[in-house]
Amino acid sequence: MKIAIDIPLDRLNEPQVMSALSDLILALGDQQLPIALPKSPKAKPAPKKRGRKPKATKATKAPAPTFTPDEGAADSLLNTLEGDAKLLMTELRKKGTLNMDDAQNLLGNEKSKSVGGTIGSVKRWAPKKGFEVPYVRETDNSGDRIWRWIGTAFAEGAPAPAAPTKEEPKKKASSKKKASSKKKASSKKKASSKKKASSKKKASS
């Protein structure tokens, strides 16, 4: 008596079916046809995401200015500025550098979007008024833009404003003294001439 067992080929890859079939063959004593159990497939590692690595940012510095900074020119420049531009340039001159956060905190949230335009207007406006641009734009290590104060000077060919003289009041005072001395001298001459004329009249009488 024989028993025929039909096993679908696609079921032979199942570990349980292969293990049962192997046990059955070994139990019947026919060890000439060992059945190799299929190895369970190894789990494939998850594919690595090929995202772009963030580029390392390097701080950029502007070249050195070609002019010699003049503190008097800086004072004159700030005196000609008004409003937010004067506020930002004064703070930039005081601190030396200014980033976007500092500038926004200085102007307030309502005007935070106009920081770049306000500082940029000074770059366009200064040469028209005879000044060198007082700052440069750079990038720090984190990639954020900053502004650095480099000073300013009177542009080549632009007439420097005349410094106020303190001798003018003295000149006016001296002119007044001269006028008063002239008046006194003339009055003395008139008085002496009158005395001489009166003495001559008395002598003739």
Both tokens assigned to 177: 């003294």
Q: Name the H helices within the chain.
A: 15-27, 71-80, 83-95, 100-107, 115-128, 168-204
| CB 7, CB 21: distance < 8 Å | yes
pTM above 0.75, yes or no: no
pLDDT for 72: 93
C-alpha span between 117 and 100 (Å, rounded): 12
- Per the model's pLDDT, the better-predicted residue between 167 and 138 turns out to be 138
**Does the pLDDT at position 11 exceed 60?**
yes
Helices (H) and strands (E) in the chain, counts: 6, 3
Q: pLDDT (tens digit, 9 = 90+) per residue, 30-75? A: 555 455 555 556 667 777 766 665 565 667 777 777 888 899 999 9
In the chain, % of residues over pLDDT 90: 28
pLDDT for 88: 93
pLDDT for 164: 45
Contacts of the segment 102-108: beta carbons below 8 A, 24+ positions apart: 103/147
C-alpha span between 133 and 167 (Å, rounded): 34
**Does the pLDDT at position 93 exceed 50?**
yes
In the chain, % of residues over pLDDT 70: 60
pLDDT for 55: 60
- Per the model's pLDDT, the better-predicted residue between 107 and 191 turns out to be 107
pLDDT for 163: 47
pLDDT for 45: 74
